[in-house]
Amino acid sequence: MSNVATQVIDHFVSQVGAQAATWLQSCVHCGECAEACHFYEVTKDPRYTPAWKLEPFARAYRARKAPFAGVRRALGLAKEPDEAELNEWQELIYDSCTMCGRCTMVCPMGIDIASLVGLARKSMAANGIGPEDLFAVAEKSREVGSPLGVTPEKMEERIDWLSDEHEVDIPLNKEKAEVLLTISSIETMKYPQSIVAMAQVLNHAGIDWTFSTKGYEATNFGVLSGKADVAKVMIERIVAAAESVGAKTVIIPECGHAYGALRWTGAMMLGRPLPFEVFHITEYLAMLKRDGKLKLKPMDDAITYHDPCQISRRGGATEAAREVLDGFATGFREMSPTGNANWCCGGGGGVAAIQRATPLRLKVFEIKMKQVEDSGADIMVSACANCRQTLDGGKEHYKWDREIGSLVEIVADHLVKA
């Protein structure tokens, strides 16, 4: 076996703790997880069965770390994956898994397959096995502060431009602020209106907030690519920025995995508790609404909401968006399935950044089109720029006639001006 394969396996088994061990050992190969996977749903290819995606890693665990691993090795029953197999498995670990966690819902054993895929990615990434384009954007994040090249200087320029263009106050590098707002570079480059919308809402509610060039990028391609060192750097930058302005609250913008990365794994990566509270923008909007700080004009368009997996199912903030929409969006209707069981957009988990995965990703959009059409909605909003970008890609490809938008933007558009 090649040195690289050995290193991947060594790395993988070194990460396996009690939780991962029970998950790796409890799979009974019932295959129900396929029924929850959007990649299987649109292809009916059994290779996309989530349990199968972990097969070489489960084998490596049985050979190296599981109880009786020595017995298996002695009897020649433990065939470890080689480098060729691991390379072949890139497609299953990276291109066709968005780590959406839907398969866990249906698993009789309750196996957290998404987390195991995350461990597998870390081991592959640490040894250079994985999609080059995804790795490149992760490295770019480390080098310049953002996966899309939004340097601190460019951030300042964009904020200046948006502030002038839209005549909105967008504080940057305030010395002190209660709230630090972060961005997703997808918004900066593709959906800048979202940044304006967030600023309008926070100003409307009278919040003491700022952006900081010390740490502004919430998108964490370190987490998505499995590059743990990059993931940590991205978290450290936000923490440093929040500490420098004395922020007690950090708001994650419309980005699903950024929320999971900071809110649920940030402290672990940092090695200490986060010195602030973390809210996704939908949670923060819901809080403002609850506190009577969000005055909205009614909106009667037929709209529906696409749940970003890392905010709803894997983030636990499913109800926040609905709380915001409740009473204000009178034409709101749920798609089916919805909420925690909603289908993924197909571009999460870094898949949107993997060029070769485009045909598969576009195929997944067929599910979303049907969900929206069945709901009768004309507009689908989401609270994740990555989902939005993926969905927009699908819309363009299929020349779909429905609108795709952002929750924070429709809220900003319906603010009652003082």
Partner 1 sequence: MSFLEFTEGPLWYVALVVFSVGVAWNIIGILAMRVRGDSAVPRKSPVAGGIKAIFLHMAPHGGFFSRTAYHVIVGYLFHLGLFALLLFGSFHVAFIKEWTGLSWTPLPRWGFIIASEVAFAGLILMWIRRWTDPITRQISDRDDHIGTGLTMLAMLTGCFALGEASDGLRAVHMLSVELLMLYFPFSRLMHAFTFIFSRYFMGAAYGKRGYVP
- Footprint of partner 1 (CB under 8 A): 16-19, 21-23, 25-32, 34-36, 40, 44, 46-47, 49, 51-52, 55, 65-68, 71-72, 101-102, 104-112, 115, 263-268, 272-274, 277, 312-318, 337, 340-341
Q: How far is the CB of 18 from partner 1 (least distance, A)?
A: 4
Distance of closest approach, residue 228 Cβ to partner 1, in angstroms: 13
Q: Which is nearer to partner 1, 248 or 297 (CB)?
A: 248
| Strand order, beta sheet including 249-252 | 209-210, 179-181, 249-252, 277-280
CB of 260 to partner 1, least distance (A): 9
Q: Which amino acid is at 160?
A: D
In angstroms, the CA 408 to CA 418 distance is 19
Contact (Cβ atoms closer than 8 angstroms) between residue 163 and residue 170: yes
- Counting beta carbons within 10 angstroms of the beta carbon of residue 299, is it exposed (0 to 12), middle (13 to 18) or buried (19 or more)? middle
Residue with tokens 């363009």: 396
Closer to partner 1 by CB, 45 or 160: give it: 45
Q: How far apart are CA 82 and CA 79, in angstroms?
A: 9
Least distance between partner 1 and beta carbon 104 (Å): 5
Rounded CA Rg of the chain? 22
Nearer Cβ to partner 1, position 68 or 398?
Answer: 68
β partners of residue 405: 381
Residue 8 tokens read as 């991947």
CB of 64 to partner 1, least distance (A): 12
Which is closer to partner 1, CB of 46 or CB of 298?
A: 46
Q: What tokens were used for 72? A: 């298996």
Least spacing, CB of residue 270 vs partner 1, in Å: 9
The answer to whether the beta carbons of residues 225 and 187 sit under 8 Å apart is no
Nearer CB in complex with partner 1: 75/418: 75
Q: Is the dihedral of CA 99, 101, 102, 103 positive or negative?
A: positive
Q: Closest distance between partner 1 and the C-beta of residue 69, in Å?
A: 9
Cβ closest to partner 1, residue 26 vs residue 330: 26
Q: Which is nearer to partner 1, 80 or 133 (CB)?
A: 80
